[in-house]
Amino acid sequence: MESREEREQRLARRKANAIAARARGQTISRYIPHFIINIAVLAIITLITLAATFKIDPAFVVTPAYWITSIVLFVLYMLTHWSDYDSRLRSLRLNDENIAYIKAQKLEIDKVTKMIEWNDYRSEFIHNRNSEHKKLAWEIYIRKKIDKFTARAKKTDKDIENAVISDFQRAALKDTPEQLKALQSQIDADREANRYCIRKRAMENMLTEKWIADNINKIYIDYNEIDIQFVENGNVYSGVTKDRVVERGMYARDTAPSKLKWFVFTAVLTAIGIDSLSGSIMWASWLLLSMRLAGFVVNKIAGKQYGEEHYQKFDIWNIDKRVEIAQEFKVWGFKKGFLKTK
């Protein structure tokens, strides 16, 4: 019978092989659209040289036929992209190795969430974890704010902030300690009264443990918040948590920039008229068809590639994050003393 260690090693090898295979596939697929574009460009240049010249008719751009053609082409391209994305995503979710990996990860989660200690301490653990992440997010936010504030400061303000008694001054005034003390008092008074220094000290005070402890429940900051249900079954009670990738609207958000580019492409492509230098309309038709087919092929490849990215960003990320949080609970339990090493 396979031991636990052997099973974990086998799953680790399978995960490493799957990641390597996906990386190789993504590397290849990443360059295929560029290859298709280069071939299409060479073909179009050849056809232009042999057969045709381009022209843009401004009068055609304002006609219903232009806009109908542009919109239809755009919709067809986007439909192609979505179709290949969806088919690739479904195939990945039905892949035997991927199913086995997800199942194994869920078993690791269940080992923690089925424990009595999880039911007893889960609320405290989630609250503590969220507080730590909120504290970290606040510290990062304030430090960035201080950096920007410092970068915009005037030289005179920085000189006041960094002013100290120099070695030359100490040597010159060593026999008159009263003057040395008065000089230090003046430097401190200038720093205390300087508006820039006052504001910077106020922000630096927001990084102290005491200030954060007093205000952690009052401040609003975007951070990696989770809830119990996400760890147990991958869902959330309400709201959007940063440590959980939400699938709703994900496709629209991720593909919005490329959709804009493709609409511009189809609009320009539709606006282009072609005059055949050879006197044959066949050359012009083939040229236009090759350009439109190039867009079709690129969208098919891009759709499949995004299907793989979506699977990694949503399915794999969420299950791996849940396992990570479950392991964090065990470490936290050992530190608190209610879990013991076997």
Q: Please give the residue range of the domain that contains residue 94.
A: 33-122+226-336
Least confident of 45-54, 242-251, 331-340: 45-54
What is the pLDDT, as a whole number, of residue 340? Answer: 78
Between 274 and 147, name the one with better pLDDT. Answer: 147
Do 299 and 153 have their domain in common?
A: no
3-state SS, the chain, equals CCCHHHHHHHHHHHHHHHHHHHHHHHHHHHHHHHHHHHHHHHHHHHHHHHCEEEEECHHHHCCHHHHHHHHHHHHHHHHHHHHHHHHHHHHHHCCHHHHHHHHHHHHHHHHHHCCHHHHHHHHHHHHHHHHHHHHHHHHHHHHHHHHHHHHCCCHHHHHHHHCCCCHHHHHHCCCCHHHHHHHHHHHHHHHHHCHHHHHHHHHHHCCCHHHHHHHCCCCCCCCCCCCHHHHHHCCCCCCCCCCCCCCCCHHHHHHHHHHHHHHHHHHHHHHEEEEECCCCHHHHHHHHHHHHHHHHHHHHHHHHHHHHHHHHHHHHHHHHHHHHHHHHHHHHHHHHCCCCCC
- Span 123-140, average pLDDT: 93
Q: Does pTM top 0.85 for this prediction?
A: no
Q: Which of 191, 215, 239 is the last residue of a domain?
A: 215
* Residue 171 belongs to some domain of the structure: yes
- Span 200-213, average pLDDT: 96
Do 206 and 234 have their domain in common?
A: no
Do 261 and 292 have their domain in common?
A: yes
pLDDT category, 242, cuts 50, 70, 90?
low
* Residue 136 belongs to some domain of the structure: yes
Do 154 and 246 have their domain in common?
A: no
What does the pLDDT look like over 22-35, one tens digit per residue?
A: 554 455 455 555 55
Do 82 and 150 have their domain in common?
A: no
What is the pLDDT, as a whole number, of residue 269? Answer: 72
Do 163 and 304 have their domain in common?
A: no
State how many domains the chain has. 2
Do 166 and 113 have their domain in common?
A: no
* Residue 331 belongs to some domain of the structure: yes
Do 145 and 105 have their domain in common?
A: no
Do 230 and 329 have their domain in common?
A: yes
Do 116 and 250 have their domain in common?
A: yes
What does the pLDDT look like over 85-122, one tens digit per residue?
A: 999 999 999 999 999 999 999 999 999 999 999 999 99
